[in-house]
Amino acid sequence: GAATITIINRTLARAEELAKVVNDSTSAKASALAWEANQSVPEGTDILINATSIGLAPQSDQKPDINYQTVTSNMVVTDVVFNPADTLFLQEAAKQGAKPVNGLGMLACQGALNFTLWTGVEAPLDVMENQLREEFGL
């Protein structure tokens, strides 16, 4: 249901390629930007997603090089990184008042989908999510 999507990538051509897929396949209007150091989050962003592996253990002391001052309290900020669950990226966004969402839900859904594909049995997603929260102390 997103009206617009901005895709930022280190390689502009890859961002443009993904924006084309979004434009051709959905009703959303996608645009592409080349990533720059200390990247500002575009004004009006509602959802900010780190779709990189930056911050994944054992490099959990790293975070995407963005201008965290441009993250606002109106944003939901999510990370595909799940280990650690509370990444530096999410911590920095939370300091700006944004609502952080960790990558554990994504991990559980990926596992559930694979479980169902491999076994033909509907995966117990709630059990999987609870186990992940327990594993990560959440």
**Using one digit for the tens of pLDDT, what is the confidence trace for 106-119?**
999 999 999 999 99
By three-state DSSP, how is residue 117 classified?
helix
Tell me how far apart the alpha carbons of residues 38 and 34 are, in angstroms, rounded to a whole number. Answer: 12
Judged by DSSP in three states, 51 sits in coil
- Span 19-45, pLDDT tens digits: 999 999 999 999 999 999 999 999 999
* Contact in structure between 48 and 93 (CB atoms under 8 Å): yes
How wide is the angle at C-alpha 42 spanned by C-alphas 39 and 48, nearest 5°?
85
Give me the residues of the chain with pLDDT under 50, please.
Answer: none
Residue 104's CB is within 10 A of a number of other CB atoms, namely 19
| Token pair in block for residue 98 | 């944004």
Tell me phi and psi for residue 85, to 5 degrees.
Answer: -70, -40
Q: Does the pTM exceed 0.85?
A: yes
**What is the chain's length?**
138
